[in-house]
Structure 1
Amino acid sequence: MLSRTADCIYWMSRQIERAENYARLLDVLYQMSLLPGVLDREALRAPLTISGTEALFLSQGELLTIDNLMRFCTLNPRNPSSIYSCLKTARENAHVVRGSITGEMWETINATWLELRDMNRERQSAQGYRHFLDWVKERSHLFRGVTFGTIRRNQAFNFSRLGSFLERADNTLRILLVQASSVTEGISSWEILLRSLSAMESYREIYRDRMVYEDVAELLLLDVSFPRSLHACVMEASQTLELINGLAGLDTRRICAELLANLRYNRISNVLASGLAQALINYLATLSSLGSSVQSAYLEGV
């Protein structure tokens, strides 16, 4: 497969996953804003810091409120990291590689874009932020299901999965970092975090009703049976890289294998020895190195 085609498919899937994950993060913050005294300024800054758009937001001269943040991060076309921009970029990438993806995949992403393009602030306000964010998540789920159910298990499928799992791993770390940096153990917003990642049922199945941040971290970082955990995402990425293969990807597979071994054979007490926030920062740095290696090994060149 040409690097250009692989690049478009990889980023198509990453951008769709990113839009969903951004919706999940915003949903967490919006729900936290409804709890008195839980949401502080640092938590509000988190989406801007994560996406590198804080300077752009401040240049608009608006106060940092939950409403202004939601408008900036959802429908603002001037924000390159908004949900609007993510889905627009995903659709553009899909258009480039229409011959390498199925018709159903293209129709799903194109229909999503057309509906989003017709969305405005008045319609969003009338429906409510949570309705819009749920719609974004549902469209991402639909695209993922259509992809899994219609495309051959070829390199296009592999690069699509690789993009999705690396983006999902990144999101789990970042959304957990927001929580670790803004609240303390025992506050009910840990439950909101779990619900935003569809993890509440899994958490209660394992840990029952107690809500302890060490247990939350263990589920979201080390539990390979939970599909949005870092461990599960890295395992899927590692298996996908083995299917892509190629001498150019040796370093990429090594980075991924080392991270997978760390997660497979570690204990949460060791992970948290330097503090949850620092552990998440370290994992994010490794994941960034892995992403850069994927880019240079497979997606750049002819």
Structure 2
Amino acid sequence: MLGRTANGLFWMYRYLERAENTSRLIETGQRIALTRLRTSDEEWRSVMQTAAVCDGYDLTHDEVTKDSAIDWMLRSKENTSSVMSAITAARQNARSVRTALTSELWEAMNAAYMTTSRRLSRKVPERDLPDLLKALRHSTALVRGMTHGTMLRNDIYDFSRIGTFLERADNTARILDVKYYVLLPSLSAVGSSIDNVQWETILRSVSGRGGFRMTYGSMPQARDVACYLILDGRMPRSIAFSTGKIRDNLEYLSIDYGIQPPSLELARGLSDACASTSIEEIFHTGLHEYLQTTLFRLSALGKQIERDFRFYN
């Protein structure tokens, strides 16, 4: 496969996953605000920090307000990670690799773009936000469903999966990291009903509430939630699950191409680290330090994949 085709597939699915993750974070911000006794627009800064879009916002805005933060994350063309920017970039990459996609998949991607463009053509009233966010997730889920249901399991599929799960692992790590150091109102709230409600909100943001309750029960505790979202290989948005899928698809590419790329060793290292580490070891080392190291390793892996498969040649 040509490097530019691999690049188009990889980034199409990264941007698609990013759009969905951003819509989930906005919904999370709305839910967390409902758990506060005293709400402040400034709390939306934490949501933007999770999405890594806070610096860009500060360059173009004098203060943080709820409306402007939501609009920045949903519609802003200046924000390259906004839902609209991400869906647009996903479609542009899909067009560049159109011949590698099935007609059903292309139609789903195009429909997602047109629906998003129409619904985000103007500022979204708060009363319409829940329906909009649900529609955005349904659109991206349809693209993902068409991928699973119609695509041949070859290198095209492998690059799409690698892009999806690299973005997903990064997002889960960011959500957990910011929850500990920004979202919690004070140390006195640790273990309180407010803390538990916020942990449940975080689980909702990654569609993990139902699975968590099956595994740990109905009262979320910090250690259990962290274990579930980092180490549980059954949870499809956990770091362990995501890094395992990246490793698997890189191994398929290694077999198909007859090579042993350095990115495969990096992916194996990440996946093995999840398999061999306990939540007690993570908390002993420091959750923040562990997650920051994971984010650094994910970034390095993404750059190494680009080099190994000559994305820009």
Q: Fold conserved (TM > 0.5)?
A: yes
| Mapping of residues 152-163 of structure 1, within 5 Å | 152-163=152-163
Query: Counterpart of 1:255?
Result: 266
Query: Counterpart of 2:305?
Result: 294
Q: Could you tell me how far 1:192 is from its partner in structure 2? A: 0.6
2:22 touches 2:51 (CA, 8 Å); kept in 1? no
Q: Higher mean Cα deviation, 241-250 or 50-59?
A: 50-59
Q: Could you tell me how far 1:47 is from its partner in structure 2? A: 4.6
Correspondence 1:268 to 2:294: no
Correspondence 1:212 to 2:231: no
* 1:81 partner SS: coil
Q: Could you tell me how far 1:277 is from its partner in structure 2? A: 1.8
* 1:29 partner SS: helix
Letter in 2 for 1:74: L
Q: Higher mean Cα deviation, 44-53 or 287-296?
A: 44-53
Superposition TM-score, scaled by structure 1 size = 0.93
Deviations 1:78-124 (A, max 9, x none): 21111000000000010111111111111111111112222247572
Q: Higher mean Cα deviation, 248-257 or 235-244?
A: 248-257
Deviations 1:247-299 (A, max 9, x none): 66521111111111111121100011132222211111111111111111114
| Mapping of residues 1-302 of structure 1, within 5 Å | 1-37=1-37, 44-49=44-49, 52-120=52-120, 124-125=124-125, 128-181=128-181, 182-183=183-184, 184-186=190-192, 187=195, 188-245=197-254, 246=257, 249-302=260-313
Letter in 2 for 1:80: T
Letter in 1 for 2:296: A
1:28 touches 1:196 (CA, 8 Å); kept in 2? yes
Deviations 1:32-90 (A, max 9, x none): 12222487777522454455543432343342122211011101122111100000000
Change (3 A) 1:38 1:288: farther
Letter in 1 for 2:309: Y
Superposition TM-score, scaled by structure 2 size = 0.90
Deviations 1:171-228 (A, max 9, x none): 1111111211121344111001111111111111111123210000000000001111
In the alignment, the residues of structure 2 paired with residue 223 and residue 40 of structure 1 have an alpha-carbon distance, to the nearest angstrom, of 34
In the alignment, the residues of structure 2 paired with residue 288 and residue 240 of structure 1 have an alpha-carbon distance, to the nearest angstrom, of 17
Q: Higher mean Cα deviation, 171-180 or 111-120?
A: 111-120
Letter in 2 for 1:31: R
In the alignment, the residues of structure 1 paired with residue 42 and residue 135 of structure 2 have an alpha-carbon distance, to the nearest angstrom, of 27
In the alignment, the residues of structure 1 paired with residue 126 and residue 107 of structure 2 have an alpha-carbon distance, to the nearest angstrom, of 27
1:166 touches 1:291 (CA, 8 Å); kept in 2? yes
Count matched residues: 302
Q: Could you tell me how far 1:137 is from its partner in structure 2? A: 1.2
* 2:124 partner SS: helix
* 2:171 partner SS: helix
In the alignment, the residues of structure 2 paired with residue 288 and residue 273 of structure 1 have an alpha-carbon distance, to the nearest angstrom, of 24
The percentage of aligned residue pairs carrying the same residue is 30
Q: Could you tell me how far 1:16 is from its partner in structure 2? A: 0.3
Letter in 1 for 2:24: R
